[in-house]
Amino acid sequence: MEPKVYRVQGMTCGGCAKHVEKALRSVPGVTGVVMDVANGTASVESTAPFESMAASVAAAGYEMISPA
């Protein structure tokens, strides 16, 4: 499965990235997450719908935007 890259707004440090990663990993269907704070992105391997992942990230206090 090819990972998709999403922009994450509000992610400014390693702590933020860990919160977003935890939120994404809690979504059923997500099998891999690689965070890049410098670029403000999350690379996600998943069969979950974007809406489910975005909702989980929003609940953590950030905004995930469709593929970067």
* CA pair distance 59, 40, nearest whole angstrom: 18
pLDDT of residue 68: 52
Number of domains in the chain: 1
Which residues, in sequence order, are CB contacts of 51 under 8 Å at separation 6+? none
Domain that holds residue 8: 4-67
Q: What is the pTM of this model?
A: 0.93
Domain of 38, CATH number, reads 3.30.70.100
* 31-55: pLDDT as tens digits: 999 999 999 999 999 999 999 999 9
Q: Where are the beta strands (DSSP E) in the chain?
A: 4-9, 30-36, 41-46, 63-67
